[in-house]
């Protein structure tokens, strides 16, 4: 008797999820990958890991003056995933990369061509066998423009600030958390920086499905994308 397999199992695809900060990309992608049995790759975490290393080394001002100074660091750094944990040079930095100081500088670090070139190579190698869900800001436009399903998530800046505030409050452990107004201003600035950067700016691919998550729960977001994967895999 032949084993019956679902379309998703028979035809693994690449799901590329792009969008601005706090639009729900990472949570949606993580839950979707688990539901599909796919590999989840958080590219934003990779850029955050590089940013964290730059901050720890005290190199931010030097790199602002001359971006070529990051090349040596990129040769030394190792970034990997172990389940949902993000490893930087073998250290679990899953929490550290979400600190607000990293959030403030990651847009600048991710705008640098040497950084984007290095991580693009790593990300494309990770997705070579397909059956992955990858989220970021240029997955559908630069990393995998041939992805079978491209999603572009958006949400109102105020709602995104509320989400970010809730996330930081849970992890604060008594430390001061920026106000929603401060976070909204940071988000708006980061959107502008991401959209105006020279290398791989934040753009919606012409084939990407636009999904406004402002009034959606995470479960609703995941369900919508899951059904799209099912439809494509079944064709």
As a whole number of angstroms, the distance between CA 102 and CA 40 comes to: 22
* Model pLDDT, residue 48: 96
Contact 77, 89 (CB under 8 A): yes
> Per-residue pLDDT for 62 more than 90?
yes
Average pLDDT estimate for 196-217: 92
Residue 161: CB atoms within 10 A of its CB come to 24
Q: Rounded to whole angstroms, how far apart are CA atoms 27 and 167? A: 12
pLDDT of residue 6: 62
Rounded Cα–Cα distance for residues 110 and 22 (Å): 16
The residues spanned by each domain of the chain are: 12-233
Statement: residue 221 has pLDDT above 50:
yes
- Residues 6 or more apart whose CB falls under 8 angstroms from that of 104 comprise 186
pLDDT of 171 strictly over 70? yes
- The number of CA neighbours under 13 Å toward the Cβ of 38 is 30
Burial 148-160 (b: 16+ CB within 10 A, else e): bbbbbbbbebebb
Chain centre distance of CA 92 = 18
Superfamily (CATH) of domain 12-233: P-loop containing nucleotide triphosphate hydrolases (3.40.50.300)
Query: Looking at residues 9-25, what average pLDDT do you find?
Result: 89
Lowest-pLDDT range, 2-6, 134-138, 167-171, 183-187? 2-6
Contact 47, 106 (CB under 8 A): yes
């Amino acid at each position: 008797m032949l084993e019956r397999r679902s379309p998703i199992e028979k035809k693994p695809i690449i799901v590329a999820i792009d969008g601005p900060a706090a639009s729900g990309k990472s949570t949606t992608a993580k839950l979707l990958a688990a539901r599909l049995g796919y590999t989840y790759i958080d590219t934003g975490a990779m850029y955050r890991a590089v940013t964290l290393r730059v901050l720890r080394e005290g190199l931010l001002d030097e790199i602002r003056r001359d971006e070529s100074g990051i090349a040596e660091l990129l040769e030394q750094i190792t970034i990997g995933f172990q389940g949902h944990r993000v490893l930087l040079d073998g250290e679990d930095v899953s929490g550290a990369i979400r600190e607000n100081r990293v959030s403030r500088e990651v847009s600048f670090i991710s705008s640098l061509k040497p950084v984007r070139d290095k991580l693009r190579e790593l990300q494309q190698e990770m997705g070579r066998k397909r059956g992955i869900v990858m989220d970021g800001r240029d997955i559908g436009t630069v990393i995998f423009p041939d992805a079978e399903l491209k999603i572009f998530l958006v949400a109102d800046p105020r709602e995104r600030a509320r989400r970010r505030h809730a996330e930081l409050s849970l992890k604060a452990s008594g430390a001061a958390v920026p106000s929603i107004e401060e976070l909204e201003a940071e988000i708006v600035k980061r959107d502008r920086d991401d959209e105006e950067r020279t290398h791989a700016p934040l753009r919606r691919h012409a084939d990407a499905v636009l999904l406004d998550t402002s009034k959606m729960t995470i479960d609703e977001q995941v369900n919508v994308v899951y059904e799209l994967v099912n439809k494509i895999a079944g064709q």
